[in-house]
Amino acid sequence: MSAVNNSKANSDAFLAINGVTKSFGAVQVVRGADIAISKGEFVSFLGPSGCGKTTILRMVAGFETPTTGRIVIDGKDITDLKPNQRKIGMVFQSYALFPNLTVAGNIGFGLKVAGKARAEIDQRVEEMLKLIGLPELSDRFPWQLSGGQQQRVALARALAPRPAVLLLDEPLSALDAKIRVSLREEIRAIQKELGITTIFVTHDQEEALSMSDRVMVMYQGRIEQIGAPFEVYNHPKTKFVANFVGTLSTMEGTIADAAKGSVDAAGTRFDGVRLPAGATNGAAVTLALRPEALRRDRRDGDLSLSGEIIDVDFLGSVIRIDIKAGGEKLSLDAFNDPTTPPPAIGETMTVHFAPDAVLTL
Partner 1 sequence: MTRLLAWIAFLFGALYFALPLIGMTEFSLKMRRGVYSLDAYVKVFADPRFQETFSFSVMMALATIAFGVLLVVPTAYWVRLKMPGARPWIEFVTLLPLVIPAIVIVFGYIRLYNTSSFLPLTGSTTGTNILLMFGYATLALPYMYRSVDTGLRTIDVATLTEAAQSLGAGWVTILSRVILPNVLIAVLSGAFLTFAIVIGEFTMAALLDRPAFGPYMQLLGANRAYEPAALAVIAFGITWACMALIQLLARFAPKPAKPVKE
Ligand X SMILES: Nc1ncnc2c1ncn2[C@@H]1O[C@H](COP(=O)(O)OP(=O)(O)O)[C@@H](O)[C@H]1O
Cβ nearer to partner 1, comparing 161 with 291: 161
Based on the shown chain and the rule CB under 8 A, indicate whether residue 94 belongs to the binding site for partner 1: yes
Cβ nearer to ligand X, comparing 169 with 322: 169
Q: What is the DSSP letter of 78?
A: -
Burial pattern 93-128, b for ≥16 Cβ within 10 A else e, equals: bebebeeebbbbbbbbbbbeeeebeeeebeebbeeb
Task: Tell me which residue of 147, 153, 145 sits closest to 172, measured CA to CA.
Answer: 147
Cα–Cα distance measured from residue 34 to residue 21, given in angstroms and rounded to the nearest whole number? 10
Q: Which amino acid is at 202?
A: T
Q: Tell me the per-residue interface mask from 6 to 35 with ligand X, x by CB under 6 A, - otherwise.
A: ------------------x----x------
Q: Which does 65 bind (CB under 5 to 8 A by kind): Mg ion, ligand X, partner 1, none?
A: none
Cβ nearer to ligand X, comparing 110 with 221: 221
3-class secondary-structure state, position 169: strand
| Stretch in the footprint of ligand X (CB under 6 A) among 47-55, 294-302, 325-333, 345-353 | 47-55
Burial pattern 54-71, b for ≥16 Cβ within 10 A else e, equals: bbbbbbbbbebebeebbb
| Stretch in the footprint of Mg ion (CB under 5 A) among 48-56, 186-194, 251-259, 325-333 | 48-56
Question: Binder to partner 1 among 24, 63, 230, 314 (CB under 8 A)?
Answer: 63
Question: Binder to partner 1 among 22, 53, 86, 184 (CB under 8 A)?
Answer: 86
- Helical spans, DSSP H, in the chain: 2-9, 53-61, 103-113, 118-131, 147-159, 177-194, 205-211, 229-234, 239-244
Q: Which amino acid is at 255?
A: I
Q: Which does 187 bind (CB under 5 to 8 A by kind): partner 1, ligand X, Mg ion, none?
A: none
Q: Which does 253 bind (CB under 5 to 8 A by kind): partner 1, Mg ion, ligand X, none?
A: none
Cβ-in-10-Å burial (0-12, 13-18, 19+) of 25 comes to: exposed
| Stretch in the footprint of partner 1 (CB under 8 A) among 95-103, 131-139, 178-186, 342-350 | 95-103
Residues that bind partner 1 (CB under 8 A): 61-63, 82-90, 92-100, 109-110, 113-114, 141-143, 145-147, 150, 154, 157-158, 161, 174
